Amino acid sequence: MNISIFGLGYVGVVTAGCLASRGHSIIGVDVNETKVRMMNDGLSPIIEKEIPELLEEYTKKGNIRATVDTRDAILNSELSIICVGTPSRPNGCLDTSFLENVCFQIGQSLKERAERHVLVFRSTMIPGTMRDVIIPAIEDASGKKHNEGFFAAFNPEFLRESTAVYDFNNPPKTVVGADSQETAQKVMSLYEGLPGAKIITKIEVAEMVKYVDNNFHALKITFANEIGMLCKNAGMDSHEVMDIFMQDRKLNISTAYLKPGFAFGGSCLPKDLRAISCFARMHDVDTPLLSSIMNSNWMQITNAVRKIISYGKRKIGVAGFSFKEGTDDLRESPLVELIEMLIGKGYDLKLYDRNVYLARLMGANKEYINEKIPHISTLMVDSLDDLLSDREVIIIGNKDPEFSRILTDAREDQQIFDLVRIGDVSDAAGNYEGVSW
């Protein structure tokens, strides 16, 4: 199938690479000329395991090309997948302006297309956005009616950064929301042969499913972290407590996100928590538990800062400050918040993260680093040995396998503060402490 993909961020690039590997012809579309150029050169604009190899292989084979021209993409594809970002506004509600701009451009191009065209939205949006905002915007711009001149579907993604290719090929479920079986089945055909349940539902239900998933993940992380703090202060190993708790596979269901650790972050959970709270307010529904999660998550950051201050040392090294290992994504990383708080208190910091350093040099994330957090950028060093050489406190911020050797290579006079439980802590050198164990 000839497919155009709008938005060459994490979801768009992963979707492009994975669908190309399944035999489809892909046209990637983005307003960022750097991303487009990198894609056409077979280079990945994101750091994600397996993606560089997929893009290199299928660009050479001619299965993938990229453009800034919406008209070109629409006229040369039969199905479009929209993966444009929906960031938070200052009030917590979603900013759909980028999405609406893309819809206008797509609508204008649909005027020239006589054949059936299916628009598949993967951008996360609160229930009702497709029906009340997106579809009317396309109708206005194209002069065509939904389910007559074009057909829209919502297909939420369940990709985790650093394991996105595996997740694409091994989904727990595939959900498609559409008004007709014919449209839904065409979208579902993209995932033919993949494991997991195949679910066709209403558009609004499909929109809501993503929020239910992400808010539950955020809830699990916060629950585990609060248990961890209780256990630590009561003299217990929270991981032992939770290991016993998770033996119950019948009621507790899943072990994902249930190990106590540091605050959650990234491009999904904080944004989706704010959006679902805004959605509840719009409907005059009180959600005290969900509304309290971000406050509890913020306390994990402030508690960690208090602990670091308590060591009475000024030279701090942070190993890993993207929000999780295997990615260069710094959006709403709790480590960035922690770093900025320490900078504000006058601490001497060095930062190391090989994925972020790589992005600083050549990736599409370079613009974010240079423009949004340049003060942090200047503190980055290019090796773990540099970080270990003169720091009094070493903070382990994510589970990059490289950081395991901190446990054995740190000097006895260095304080290790582990936010992720990097490995076998019983063999740790130096003064070791976990954030909640």
Residue 219: what pLDDT?
87
Q: Is residue 207 part of a domain?
A: no
**Does 414 map to a domain?**
yes
Q: In the chain, how many H helices and how many E strands?
A: 19, 13
Average pLDDT over residues 182-206: 98
Q: Please state the separation of Cα 232 from the chain's center in Å.
A: 30
Q: What does the DSSP 8-state code read for residue 79?
A: E
Please give the share of the chain, as a percent, with pLDDT higher than 70.
97
pLDDT (mean) for 381-385: 95
Out of 201, 227, 245, pick the residue that ends a domain. 201
- Centre a 10 Å sphere on the Cβ of residue 375 and count the other Cβ atoms it contains: 10
Give per-residue pLDDT as tens, 299-316. 999 999 999 999 999 999
Print the SS3 string covering 304-330.
Answer: HHHHHHHCCCCEEEEECCCCCCCCCCC
Segment among 11-20, 170-179, 224-233, 370-379 with least mean pLDDT: 370-379
Q: How many domains does the chain have?
A: 2
Say if residue 115 is in the same domain as residue 229.
no
d(CA 142, CA 309): 58
CA 52-214-79 angle, 5° bins: 55
Whether residue 368 has pLDDT greater than 60: yes
Residue carrying the six token digits 């900025």: 340
Place of tokens 């019983």: 426
Residue 341 is predicted with a pLDDT of 95
CA distance 288 to 411: 46
Q: Of 155, 19, 4, which Cα lies nearest the Cα of 66?
A: 4
Which of 391, 380, 337, 374 is CA-nearest to residue 358? 380
Nearest CA to 146 out of 156, 154, 136, 155 is that of 136
CB 15 within 8 A of CB 5: yes
φ, ψ of residue 45 in degrees (nearest 5): -80, 0
Contact 267, 329 (CB under 8 A): yes
Scan for tokens 């595939």, then name that residue: 174
Full residue range of the structural domain in which residue 430 is found: 213-434
* CATH number for 35: 3.40.50.720
In this structure, what token pair is assigned to residue 311? 């060591």
- Identify the active-site residue in 83, 103, 231, 268: 268
Task: Give the model's confidence band at 74: pLDDT under 50 very low, under 70 low, under 90 confident, else very high.
Answer: very high
- Full strand arrangement of the beta sheet holding 118-121: 64-67, 25-29, 2-6, 79-82, 118-121, 151-154, 173-178, 197-201
Predicted pLDDT at 252: 61
Please tell me the distance from the alpha carbon of residue 277 to that of residue 399, in angstroms, as a whole number.
31
Same domain, yes or no, for 382 and 245?
yes
Query: Which amino acid would we find at residue 302?
Result: T
Please give the Cα distance from 195 to 53 (Å, whole number): 23
Quick: pLDDT tens for 235-256. 989 999 999 988 887 766 567 7
Confidence band, pLDDT 50/70/90 cuts, at residue 342: very high
Q: CA dist 433 to 112, 130, 399, Å?
A: 63, 48, 16
pLDDT classification of 260: cutoffs 50, 70, 90 = confident
Q: What is the pLDDT at residue 360? A: 66
Residue 268 falls in the annotated catalytic set: yes
Q: Could you give the C-alpha distances from 87 to 106, 123, 331, 352, in angstroms and in order?
A: 20, 10, 10, 27
Q: Which residue has the higher pLDDT, 267 or 33?
A: 33
Alpha helices in 234-323 (DSSP H): 238-245, 269-282, 288-310
Residue 32 burial by Cβ neighbours in a 10 Å radius (0-12, 13-18, 19+): middle
Residue 16 maps to a domain: yes
Same domain, 173 and 232: no
Which structure tokens are listed for 313?
């040392």
Q: Are residues 256 and 152 in the same domain?
A: no
Least trusted range by pLDDT, from 204-218, 266-280, 409-423: 266-280
Residue 51 lies inside a defined structural domain of this protein: yes
- pLDDT at residue 365, as a whole number: 65
Do 195 and 218 share a domain, yes or no? no
- Residue 73: name the closest of 86, 84, 60, 82 by CA: 82
Residues 151 and 230 occupy one common structural domain: no
Question: Where is the domain boundary, 179, 201, 223?
Answer: 201
Any domain includes 111: yes
Q: Is residue 208 part of a domain?
A: no
Same domain, residue pair 274 and 135: no
pLDDT, residue 362, reads 62
Instruction: Report pLDDT digits (tens) over 16-70.
Output: 999 999 999 999 999 999 999 999 999 999 999 999 999 999 999 999 999 999 9
Shared-domain flag, residues 285 and 188: no
Residue 251: per-residue pLDDT = 64
pLDDT mean across residues, the chain: 92
Domain end position, chosen among 167, 201, 235: 201
Question: 66-104: string of b/e by CB count within 10 Å (b at 16+)?
Answer: bbeebbebbeebebbbbbbbbebeeebbbebeebbebbb
| Model pLDDT, residue 363 | 60
Does the pLDDT of residue 361 top 60, yes or no? no
Confidence of residue 288 (pLDDT cuts 50, 70, 90): confident
Phi, psi (deg, nearest 5) at residue 257: 70, 15
Task: Summarize pLDDT for 208-221 with one digit per residue, the tens.
Answer: 999 989 998 998 89
DSSP alpha helix (H) spans, 189-237: 203-233
Q: What is the mean pLDDT of residues 115-119?
A: 95
Residues 6 or more apart in contact with residue 256 via CB below 8 angstroms: 217, 220
279 and 421 both lie in a single domain: yes
d(CA 9, CA 28): 10
266 & 366 share domain: yes
174/220 same-domain check: no
Are 152 and 287 found together in one domain? no
Measured between alpha carbons, how far is 203 from 155 in angstroms, rounded to an integer? 9
Residue 325, in any domain of the structure? yes
